[in-house]
């Protein structure tokens, strides 16, 4: 294959987004497999939250790959950069978060507010990503949206990270300093009763940018390595891709055999689980990405497939809706359909199984429906709004 520079848009890494979102989905609905798999397998599936780490490493890589060489600490550059980030992340998050609070208004579903006294105030904290700094509020609104607070912290920090790395040649010390600042914040605020604002070390390490920053820095380092190697030579080797893939799930296995701390739900919350997830797993994911970028494999071809690419493009919406009020609506619908089917069977005088009586099948139905909804919302709302904001004069006058 001829040498050529790597483009900013990489189809295989878009496909990786779908893989990451689906891993998170499995982790949230692993209970559906309790009756059919040994406990060890169920524990293994429960640790598929690793999709979040994949997102973080990927974000670090993409932001650095696109912006490291051309960033400028100027108002115009930052406004254009922020405009691009807002266009990509914010519209669907705002709309779906608004949907969650509208549902709360009619259902009083406490999962949305976690008992917080002011729904309006909490809505503001959600749409500004502030809720992600509070242990007791991190799962309010769209529960899985806590990770967007981490992402936004990285987006705002990235230009400064790049500046310090280039001007002062200080790259590797930065994640250490950021994590130490996180520890300091916990020491200051852990005894302050303020909805768990930096309330404990586990929260800081797992749910804030201060604890998760290494994952982004690994992605940045990968981008810098790839930039130095350009133009890339795609070869027939498969070693690095599959080694990285194996190590990713080896890390999952490690977390699946760790004792789960009291009151927690996964080996991730074990101190060794934190180290495995935030550091060993992140490094394994970067190795996997390096293989995807430099090797020709069947896995790369699958991830670059046009349909998988579409799933990857719509995976952000899938991630936001796979847990919460949309899934709850589907679950209630399946229960209603199950009762309706059995009422029909009673009228017909037959003793048949219902297609909606099995949890694992219902999870599969929901997975397919949520993917269809995600693609529809991507095509009808996310993609057009993204393009509109980028071409608009929001924050900075459009260049087109």
Question: Are 284 and 250 contacting, i.e. CB atoms less than 8 angstroms apart?
Answer: yes
From first to last of its 400 residues, the chain has per-residue pLDDT tens of: 345 556 777 899 999 999 999 999 999 998 887 767 788 888 999 999 999 999 999 999 999 999 999 888 889 999 999 999 999 999 999 999 999 999 999 999 999 999 898 999 999 999 999 999 999 999 999 999 999 999 999 999 999 999 999 999 889 999 999 999 999 999 999 999 899 999 999 999 999 999 999 999 999 999 999 998 876 655 556 699 999 999 999 999 999 999 999 988 899 999 999 999 999 999 999 999 999 999 989 999 999 999 999 999 999 999 999 999 999 999 999 999 999 999 999 999 999 999 999 988 999 999 999 999 999 999 999 999 999 999 999 988 887 5
Q: Which residues contact 331 (CB under 8 A, 6 or more apart)?
A: 362, 366
CA-CA distance, 107 to 294, in Å (whole number)?
A: 51
Q: What is the 3-state secondary structure (H, E, C) of 12-45?
A: HHHHHHHHHHHHHHHHHCHHHHCCCCCHHHHHHH
CB atoms near residue 359 (< 10 Å): 17
* pLDDT for res 395: 86
Q: What are the contacts of 126-131 at 24+ separation with CB within 8 A?
A: 126/97, 126/100, 126/101, 127/93, 127/94, 127/97, 127/98
Query: Which of 178, 172, 162, 154 is CA-nearest to residue 73?
Result: 162
* pLDDT for res 390: 93
* pLDDT for res 6: 64
Question: Are 296 and 235 contacting, i.e. CB atoms less than 8 angstroms apart?
Answer: yes
**In what helix (H) or strand (E) does residue 65 lie, and over which residues does it extend?**
helix 50-67
Q: Specify the pTM.
A: 0.94
Three-state DSSP state, 396: coil
């Amino acid at each position: 294959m001829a040498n050529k520079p790597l483009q900013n848009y990489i189809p295989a890494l878009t496909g990786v987004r779908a893989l990451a979102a689906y891993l998170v989905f499995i982790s949230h609905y692993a209970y559906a497999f309790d009756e059919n798999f040994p406990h060890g397998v169920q524990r293994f599936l429960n640790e598929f939250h690793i999709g979040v780490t994949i997102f973080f490493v990927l974000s670090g890589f993409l932001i650095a790959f696109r912006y490291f060489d051309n960033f400028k600490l100027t108002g115009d550059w930052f406004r254009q950069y922020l405009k691009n980030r807002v266009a990509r992340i914010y519209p669907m998050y705002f709309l779906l978060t608004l949907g969650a609070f509208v549902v709360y208004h009619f259902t009083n579903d406490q999962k949305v507010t976690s008992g917080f006294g002011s729904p309006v105030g909490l809505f503001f904290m959600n749409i500004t990503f502030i809720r992600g700094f509070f242990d007791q509020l991190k799962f309010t609104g769209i529960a899985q949206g806590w990770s967007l607070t981490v992402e936004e912290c990285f987006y705002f920090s990235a230009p400064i990270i790049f500046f310090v790395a280039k001007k002062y040649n200080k790259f590797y010390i930065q994640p250490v300093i950021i994590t130490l600042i996180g520890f300091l914040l916990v020491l200051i605020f852990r005894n302050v009763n303020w909805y768990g604002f930096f309330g404990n070390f586990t929260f800081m390490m797992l749910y804030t940018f201060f604890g998760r920053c290494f994952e982004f820095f690994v992605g940045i380092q990968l981008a810098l390595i790839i930039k130095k190697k350009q133009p890339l030579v795609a070869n027939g080797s498969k070693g690095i891709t599959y080694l990285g893939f194996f190590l990713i799930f080896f890390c999952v296995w490690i977390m699946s055999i760790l004792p789960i701390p009291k009151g927690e739900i996964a080996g991730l919350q074990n101190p060794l689980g934190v180290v495995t997830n935030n550091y060993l797993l992140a490094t394994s994911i970067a190795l996997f990405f390096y293989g995807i970028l430099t090797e020709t494999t069947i896995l790369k071809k699958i991830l670059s497939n046009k349909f998988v690419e579409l799933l990857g493009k719509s995976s952000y919406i899938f991630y936001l809706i796979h847990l919460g009020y949309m899934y709850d609506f589907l679950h209630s619908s399946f229960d209603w359909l199950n009762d309706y089917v059995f009422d029909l069977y009673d009228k017909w005088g037959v003793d048949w199984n219902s297609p909606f009586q099995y949890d694992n099948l219902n999870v599969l139905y929901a997975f397919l429906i949520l993917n269809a909804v995600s693609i529809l919302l991507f095509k009808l709302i996310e993609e057009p709004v993204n393009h509109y904001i980028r071409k608009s004069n929001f924050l900075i006058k459009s260049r087109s």
